[in-house]
């Protein structure tokens, strides 16, 4: 990408940041709704009349309905403001530039009016307050009399008029360049005169009332142009909105809603916009904190820095983190920043492992989704600052343990590949083993620190479960890696390898399954007694289905397949030494020499272990596709024949694409 393209992309990102600030400001005030606190709201006192009669209930009702109507009005205005900001956010760049030009011209009109009003007020105050005889009635008189002293007085009206004249001239030049109204030569020439008219009048001996109202008249011409643009563009605005609706409807009907969301997500560059928004938001708060940390010394009245005495760098970082997740938009921005860092953490470990798998690059996306779900599930934005910081730290800890699981998913297939392919590259083995050592040492260190610094809680139990699960998974991977290495250096076929691999994986998957059940009950305790919520309940249902029910069903299916295969193999005859000598052939499944073999009904010889792996997939002979074992029921035989003939090709493909299945993989 060229430098010009990068600059244009950066400008487009910056143009989409202000609408997020607008939405964020509305969310800070809770969309105008009253924020309930833990304190008890005092009951309104009844208003009694002078004679001590009954209270005036109508007055209470009127106040209640007025407050309700005002709250509802504020809520509707905030909702309209949020929707307008989001509509601006999704505009195309050319429309976005037009909107900003219009808003800039409107802002210039208000700034010009405000500066004119302020300058005229100060000039009139100086004229009224000053009782000295050397002050003239007007600046024009000082100019004609060459009264240099009054003209150069820094606190005099002449300097104020000069400053306001320069400001209005700059505003007029900018307004002429950006306004979207008709650019008739006469109007363009009148605009600077209109902006600077109050400054000219302040120099003349005009009546105070005329000078006081001059800012209003000076703003009429630019305001008319702004209003004209607004009314003349109403049809274009409606047309753009309708065209966007038509485009979205046609895109959804042709490609689906998910494709539309993905396309718009890429077009708007949402992650980058959110990151820039969050960084600018935190930078703004940091500047305010630094400004607040300078105060007057009560003894000598000098400006001294109290940053080191009042607030350390750690407390400042704490404050920035707390305010960086106080609204939904701020949480989205923080999520994007976390995704950015997690992405490069994943790239760093991929660089260590010398791998570049595309599937492993989704670590940033997975981390972002997990962090955002944790934020919603724990109600991060609704907590007070102290509790929010504690909850944020706990979410970070849970996120990092999940990151360790993802790193294990990267290193595990590499370990299996290195051990099974007889890779002689020693440095690749060392790199993979080094990452495994990190995945064991770091969780242990984290558990020691957390259990020494915190009391037992549901959060600590969850972190401990995740950390121990990582350790178990890494140990299982290392044990299987060691078995494959031993098998690689053996000169004879290792028939018990499949059993050992199955037992080790079954042990690890059983531990993971038990931890899954433990985490479900831990979450149920949190839901019932600590912090409930619909999101937590939904996540528990998802966890119960995918991590408990589906895993248990898959594990039981593998166990039954294995037991059935063992029974089938045991029903076949064992080949004698004489038969193997007369055959003098290799196993047709693994192409290894046969020192022991099983004889099928079709008189074919295979390793017992290889044949058992084959039976995990289908019940026919690998060579002649005859039934490998005898079935007593003819009905079952017919059904089995029909099903096996229908799925024969699919099962062969499965055998080729799932090599782990041949190793007796347990619960996935």
Where exactly are the structural domains of the chain? Answer: 10-35+57-232, 234-268, 271-294+307-489, 570-662
pLDDT of 404? 93
Neighbours of 24 (CB within 10 A): 21
> Which phi and psi (to 5°) does residue 374 adopt?
-60, -40
For residue range 591-624, what is the model confidence (pLDDT) as tens digits?
Answer: 788 888 888 888 888 888 888 878 777 778 888 8
Instruction: Give the DSSP H/E element, type plus range, for residue 294.
Output: strand 294-296
Instruction: Indicate the CATH number of 570-662 among 3.30.40.10, 3.60.110.10, 3.10.110.10, 3.40.50.10140.
Output: 3.30.40.10
pLDDT of 617? 74
Q: Tokens standing for 600?
A: 């099928």
pLDDT of 655? 33
Q: Tokens standing for 215?
A: 């800012």
pLDDT of 49? 39
pLDDT of 237? 87
pLDDT confidence band for 58 (50 / 70 / 90): low
Neighbours of 553 (CB within 10 A): 11
* Contact assessment for residue 59 and residue 107, using Cβ atoms and an 8 Å cutoff: no
* Contact assessment for residue 330 and residue 324, using Cβ atoms and an 8 Å cutoff: yes
Does the structure show a pLDDT above 70 at 375? yes
Measured CA distances, 157 to 111, 434, 440, 468, 634 (Å): 21, 76, 76, 77, 113
* Contact assessment for residue 237 and residue 293, using Cβ atoms and an 8 Å cutoff: no
Nearest to 389 by CA among 330, 322, 450, 333: 322
What's the average model confidence in pLDDT over 470-477? Answer: 95
For residue range 553-589, what is the model confidence (pLDDT) as tens digits?
Answer: 988 888 887 787 778 777 888 888 888 888 888 888 8
The DSSP result for 48-78, as a single string, is PPTT-----HHHHHHHHHHHHHHHHHHHHHH
Angle between helices 257-268 and 270-292 in degrees, nearest 10: 50
pLDDT of 472? 95
SS (H, E, C) 71-84: HHHHHHHHHHHHHH
Q: Tokens standing for 517?
A: 């059940």
What's the average model confidence in pLDDT over 307-333? Answer: 81
pLDDT of 147? 60
What's the average model confidence in pLDDT over 277-292? Answer: 89
Q: Tokens standing for 118?
A: 């302020």
In percent, the amount of the chain with pLDDT more than 90 equals 33
Instruction: Report the range of poorest mean pLDDT among 145-149, 280-284, 462-466.
Output: 145-149
Q: Tokens standing for 105?
A: 């011209």
* Contact assessment for residue 220 and residue 194, using Cβ atoms and an 8 Å cutoff: yes
Does the structure show a pLDDT above 50 at 650? no
CA 94 to chain centre: 27
* CA atoms within a 13 Å half-sphere pointing along the CA-CB vector of 206: 17
Instruction: Report the range of poorest mean pLDDT among 61-65, 249-253, 549-553, 600-604.
Output: 61-65
pLDDT confidence band for 43 (50 / 70 / 90): very low
In percent, the amount of the chain with pLDDT more than 70 equals 81
Does the structure show a pLDDT above 90 at 314? no
For residue range 75-129, what is the model confidence (pLDDT) as tens digits?
Answer: 899 999 999 999 999 999 989 999 999 999 999 999 999 998 988 888 777 665 5
Does the structure show a pLDDT above 50 at 361? yes
* Contact assessment for residue 395 and residue 435, using Cβ atoms and an 8 Å cutoff: no
What is d(CA 434, CA 427) in angstroms, rounded to the nearest whole number?
10
3-state class (DSSP) for residue 623: coil
Per the document, the length of the chain is 668
Measured CA distances, 30 to 64, 285, 471, 523, 532 (Å): 20, 19, 44, 29, 21
Instruction: Report the range of poorest mean pLDDT among 2-6, 37-41, 451-455, 458-462.
Output: 37-41
Angle between helices 185-202 and 93-129 in degrees, nearest 10: 20
State the distance between the two ends of the chain, measured CA to CA, in whole angstroms: 42
Neighbours of 593 (CB within 10 A): 13
Q: pTM value?
A: 0.77
pLDDT of 644? 45
Does the structure show a pLDDT above 60 at 665? no
400/626: higher pLDDT: 400
Contact residues for 241 (Cβ-Cβ < 8 A; gap 6+):
87
3-state class (DSSP) for residue 296: strand
Nearest to 290 by CA among 307, 274, 278: 307
Mean pLDDT of the residues in the chain: 80
| Residue 294 β-bridge partners | 305
pLDDT of 479? 94
Does the structure show a pLDDT above 50 at 410? yes
Environment class of 668 (CB within 10 Å of its CB; exposed 0-12, middle 13-18, buried 19+): exposed
Measured CA distances, 19 to 100, 238, 277, 372, 441 (Å): 11, 20, 10, 21, 45
């Amino acid at each position: 990408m060229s430098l010009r393209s990068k600059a244009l992309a950066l400008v487009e990102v910056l143009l989409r940041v202000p609408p997020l600030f607008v939405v964020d400001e509305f969310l800070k005030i809770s969309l105008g709704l009253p924020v309930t606190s833990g304190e008890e709201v005092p009951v309104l006192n009844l208003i009694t009349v002078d004679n001590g009669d009954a209270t005036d209930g109508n007055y209470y009702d009127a106040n209640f309905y007025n407050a309700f109507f005002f709250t509802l009005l504020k809520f509707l205005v905030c909702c309209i403001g949020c929707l307008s900001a989001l509509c601006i956010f999704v505009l195309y760049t050319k429309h976005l530039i037009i909107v900003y030009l219009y808003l800039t011209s409107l802002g210039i009109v208000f700034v010009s009016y405000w500066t004119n009003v302020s300058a005229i007020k100060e000039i009139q105050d100086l004229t009224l307050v000053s009782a000295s005889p050397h002050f003239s009635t007007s600046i024009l008189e000082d100019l004609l009399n060459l009264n240099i002293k009054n003209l150069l007085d820094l606190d005099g009206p002449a300097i104020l008029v000069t400053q306001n004249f320069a400001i209005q001239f700059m505003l007029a030049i900018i307004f002429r360049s950006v306004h979207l109204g008709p650019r008739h030569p006469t109007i363009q020439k009148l605009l600077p005169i209109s902006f600077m008219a109050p400054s000219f009048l302040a120099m003349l001996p005009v009546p105070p009332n005329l000078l006081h109202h001059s800012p209003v008249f000076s703003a009429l011409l630019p305001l008319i142009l702004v209003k004209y643009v607004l009314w003349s563009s109403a049809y274009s605005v409606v047309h753009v909105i309708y065209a966007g609706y038509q485009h979205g409807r046609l895109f959804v009907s042709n490609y689906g809603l998910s494709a539309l969301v993905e396309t718009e997500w890429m077009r708007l560059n949402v992650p980058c916009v959110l990151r820039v928004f969050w960084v600018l938001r935190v930078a703004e708060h940091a500047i305010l904190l630094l400004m607040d940390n300078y105060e007057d010394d009560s003894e000598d009245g000098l400006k001294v820095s109290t940053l080191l005495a009042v607030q350390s760098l750690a407390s400042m970082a704490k404050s920035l983190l707390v305010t960086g997740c106080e609204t939904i938009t701020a949480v989205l921005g923080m999520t994007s920043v976390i995704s950015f860092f997690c992405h490069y953490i994943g790239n760093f470990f991929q660089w260590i492992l010398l791998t570049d798998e595309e599937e492993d690059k989704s670590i940033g996306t997975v981390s972002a989704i997990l962090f955002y779900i944790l934020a919603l599930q724990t109600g991060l934005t609704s907590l007070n600052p102290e509790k929010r910081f504690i909850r944020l730290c706990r979410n970070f800890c849970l996120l990092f343990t999940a990151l360790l699981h993802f790193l294990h998913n990267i290193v595990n297939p590499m370990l299996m590949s290195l051990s099974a392919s007889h890779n002689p590259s020693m440095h690749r083995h060392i790199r993979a083993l080094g990452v495994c050592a990190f995945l064991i040492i770091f969780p242990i260190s984290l558990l020691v620190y957390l259990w020494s610094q915190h009391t037992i809680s549901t959060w600590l139990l969850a972190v401990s479960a995740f950390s121990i699960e990582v350790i178990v998974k890494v140990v299982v991977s290392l044990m299987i890696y060691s078995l494959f290495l031993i098998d690689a250096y053996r000169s004879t076929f290792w028939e018990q390898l499949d059993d050992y691999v199955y037992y080790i994986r079954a042990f690890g998957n059983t531990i993971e399954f038990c931890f899954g059940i433990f985490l479900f009950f831990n979450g149920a305790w949190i839901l019932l007694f600590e912090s409930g919520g619909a999101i937590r309940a939904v996540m528990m249902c998802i966890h119960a289905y995918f991590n408990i029910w589906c895993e248990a069903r898959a594990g039981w299916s593998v166990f039954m397949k294995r037991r059935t295969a063992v029974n089938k193999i045991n029903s076949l005859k064992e080949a004698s030494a004489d038969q193997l000598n007369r055959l003098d052939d290799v196993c047709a499944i693994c192409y290894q020499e046969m020192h022991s073999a099983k004889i099928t009904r079709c008189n074919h010889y295979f390793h017992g272990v290889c044949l058992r792996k084959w039976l995990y997939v289908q019940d026919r002979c690998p060579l002649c596709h005859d039934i490998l074992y005898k079935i007593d029921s003819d009905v079952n035989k017919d059904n089995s024949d029909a099903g096996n003939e229908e799925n024969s090709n699919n099962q062969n493909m499965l055998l080729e694409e799932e090599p782990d299945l041949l190793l007796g993989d347990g619960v996935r």
